[in-house]
Structures are given as structure tokens and as C-alpha cells.
Amino acid sequence: MSLRLCCRPSFCGFNNKRDLLSSDLAANQLNNPMGKWFSGVKKFIPFKGYVKLVQTTARISFPTISSDIKDKAPSDLLSHKKAVPYSDPPRMEDVESLYQFFDKSTKLIVLTGAGMSTESGIPDYRSPNGAYSTGFKPITHQEFLRSTKARRRYWARSYAGWRRFTAAQPSTGHIALSSLEKAGHISFMITQNVDRLHHRAGSNPLELHGTVYIVACTNCGFSLPRDLFQDQVKAHNPKWAEAIESLDYDSRSDKSFGMKQRPDGDIEIDEKFWEEDFYIPDCQRCQGVLKPDVVFFGDNVPKAKADAAMEAAKGCDAFLVLGSSLMTMSAFRLVKAAHEAGAATAIVNIGATRADDLVPLKISARVGEILPRLLNVGSLSIPSL
């Protein structure tokens, strides 16, 4: 379908800005460059020193989504209401402020947090709808290492939830951030997230807290891809794995294997099905303990990563936080260091953050709703390919 816009944007056929943004998602799921969404725009000129919309005519086309692409892309920003905290659509003045922040910087560092991933349906910990609100307590590094039972519980639940976890798709925020990065508006990106959605959107950030896509030995350091580890778990536990893969999550019969779906997408597994018979593969080199290559609670960020992130923070002229409450010291110390080094600092996040008293520009908005609006503004405009 197409819309004809004249003078001030009047989004006919849409009830509000979010309805329009949901159409943006359709374009994302077809992997269309964002610059292709708009065609026939006659003129843009700056306002208030930056961007002003004048009377113009534009035709905006939104492609339809075929059934096979819908099947491949189950992630929908507006369908994850439980994962994403409520926020009003971003105001024009917020878009302008964020545009100015980008436009004035020459060496911009971006730090992203769980608020990016919630828009893809992956729950966070600390938001009002996060895992902590349900009483969930994540495993600690110390508990994982000392307790065989804890490791069995962790890997059983993680194996069961892997298929759903990897089905998540990059959001409009991930896609927009990648577009800005490729256009040279971002010098370096750091993420607290372990889901590699940034990579799937085309970015290559420093993974401050590691990634669940790699499994590593805690003894010798040998590592292997997570998919290979999943295959090993399946080979050692064939009947258990078969029950997982054919699971009717709502079943109360024996076929349910004592499992039921949790509201946040994890799989809750009856203890009797993993406490005794569930086998965890050992390191193939030294028979050591294997764990996901992530920084669990109670552990420290590897020194090389911490040093690289700190060096980037101290050397930038602007530091932008997207979707993070900055409650972990490993993240907070970076924005604090950038601020103390004289860099401009800003945060886009729903809810309070640890650096609210430190950062002069704080915008309460969904990252996936505000970033795409920068792609057709002034010097940040991303040309059609």
C-alpha cells in the first residue's frame, strides 16, 4: 500500500505513530534497507539549526509480507507487550535532541543493554515486566562451578529454551543502529547483551558480557559453538531431547516430560527429569566443566574486554547508552569515565538508570521507535541503495 503526505506529516490510515512503526517492522523483516521506505521526497532543509520539514510531497510504500517470511521472522516489536515496558511514542523534540547529539559528535561510542533485546521478545531482568518481577533468580558464577545439580538445572533449562531464544529476530532498533554504524556515524559499539542480535543486524560490537553462542571450558579455555554443544547434549540424552523437541507445552500428559512454559519464554522443568538422568558433556580436551561463554552474576568481565571498553570510553567525544539501566558496575563505570573525560553523554532508556544524575540528556523511549526516525534526518540521512 502507499500513502501520500503533504505539508506536516499526517499519517492517514494509522491510529497513531506506533501503527506506522509496526509497518516499519514489515520492511525490516523483508531485509529492506531503511532508506528504501521513502521515495519521491522532494526536499528537506534544516530547522532550528538542524532539521525543518517544509511543504513537500512524498510517497511511502510498505511492502507486504509473504507467509514464508512471517514464519521465519516471528519476532514483532509490538507483540512483545509483556517483555517491553510501556512508553509513549518519542516526541519530536526528543528526536531532534538525539539528532543533535549524533550530529555534533565525531567519535561516538554506543553502549547497548537489555532494553534493545526486549523489543525482540527476549526478557530483561530489571524492568517492571522483567524476570526479577516474577521472582526469578539467575544462577551465579560460584553456584555454577561448585554444584553439579545447579549445572544440570541450568543446562536442562537452557537446552529446552534454545530453540525459542534463537528464533528472536533483530528489532528496528538493531537495524537502525547498524545502518548508522555503516554510514560512519558510530565509531565503536559495546553491548551488554549475549544474544548476538546486533551481529545478525550487521554490527560487530564488543561483547562486554560474552555470548551464549559459545561454550567454553572453565579449566583449559577450549571453546566450541553452542549449536555443536546442543548436538552433544542431544546425543547423550536422546530420549530427553526428543521429548523437548516434540513438546506440547500445554500438555499435562506424560509426554510433557514434567515441563511447562513460563510466561517469559523459558522452560520450567520438573526437577525429577533432570536431577539424576540428565548428562552434561565434559570438555573434550581435559574433561573440565563447560559453561556458556558469558559473565554470570558474581563473575568479572575479562580484563582484555574491560580494558578495551574503558579505553574507548575515555577516548570518545560522545557516549550514548541505549536500553540499559547501567545497574552493573561494568557498564556504569564506562559512562562515568566518558563523562569525567569531557565527552557528551546521553541515555535512551525506559525507566530510571544509575547515571540519571550524571547524564544531561535522558530520553524515555523505546530504542526501536526513536532510532529509525533518525535515518531520514539531516546529515544522518541514510541514502537508498
> Checking phi first, is residue 48 left (phi over 0); if not, alpha (psi -120 to 50) or beta?
left
Catalytic site residue 209?
yes
190, 312 in Cβ contact below 8 A? Answer: yes
Q: Exposure string (b/e) for 334-344, b if CB count within 10 Å is 16 or more?
A: bbbbbbeeebb
Q: What's the 3-state SS for 2-25?
A: EEEEECCCCCCCCCCHHHHHHHHH
Out of 80, 174, 198, 209, the active site residue is: 209
E strand spans, the chain: 2-6, 38-39, 57-61, 108-112, 188-191, 206-207, 210-217, 223-225, 259-261, 267-269, 290-294, 318-322, 344-348, 361-363
Q: How far apart are CA 127 and CA 119, in angstroms?
A: 13
Q: Exposure string (b/e) for 49-85, b if CB count within 10 Å is 16 or more?
A: ebbeeeeeebebebeeeeeeeeeebebbbeebeebbb
334, 309 in Cβ contact below 8 A? Answer: yes
Sign for the CA dihedral angle at 15, 16, 17, 19 comes to negative
Which residues are catalytically annotated? 209
